[in-house]
Amino acid sequence: MAPTQGPPTDKSQPWLPLVGGGNDGWSTETEATATCFCGAVQLKFPLQGPGLVETFICHCVDCRKVSVSMFATNFTIADPYLTYTRGQDNLTAYAQSRTIATNNTMTNYFCKTCGTLMYRASSGHEGLNAVRMGVVDDYRLHEGKLRPRVEQFVESRVGWLLPVEGMKQFEGSMWGGKVLAGGV
């Protein structure tokens, strides 16, 4: 399907918007691509387990800062299932542990050309990658197979954002935090 400006009328069809320099993204029933803004880096990932582990919204202060927003929308992919179709050599990494609640090291992987944050990896969750939802090429997946199921670090959520209805709410991390409400 060719990239478009607006979504197709048929909501069962993929929506691959014309964005930046990467216009060759795709999705199937079982896998999809994620591309940086300039198109230099492209990942391929599964849309089901065991490779797709979880989908979530994070309100932690680090995600707010690094995403330049009030929260980050992510999905976790296990290492062997996250592959590059191109551009692995065009990534740069920045790691730090000072602001992470657990003192684990969080490594951020950015495109060297356009600066897009593709994913993050924590030393506390070896083998998992938190891919940013915004880099997924098929925008229909945001509402379907990749719709977040969890909100974490809700104690850091800004007051003007409401909890997402039906989504499991965690104080702290979903891996070890306190469940406050909800769930699908």
- Total domain count, the chain: 1
Q: How far apart are CA 7 and CA 28, in angstroms?
A: 17
Provide the domain limits for residue 174. Answer: 31-181
| Domain contains 120 | yes
Q: Is 67 exposed, middle or buried (0-12, 13-18, 19+ CB in 10 A)?
A: middle
| Domain contains 145 | yes
Residues paired with 150 in a beta bridge: 56, 168
Mean per-residue pLDDT, 7-21: 72
The CATH number that applies at residue 47 is 2.170.150.70
The verdict on pTM exceeding 0.85 is yes
| Domain contains 24 | no
Mean per-residue pLDDT, 46-71: 93
| Domain contains 129 | yes
State the average pLDDT for the chain.
Answer: 89
pLDDT in tens, 146-172: 999 999 999 999 999 999 999 999 998
pLDDT at 2 over 60: no
pLDDT band at 103 (very low <50, low <70, confident <90, very high): confident
The per-residue pLDDT for 115 is 97
| Domain contains 2 | no
Q: Which residues make Cβ contacts (< 8 Å) with residue 58, sequence separation at least 6?
A: 71, 72, 73, 74, 130, 151, 152, 153
| Domain contains 153 | yes
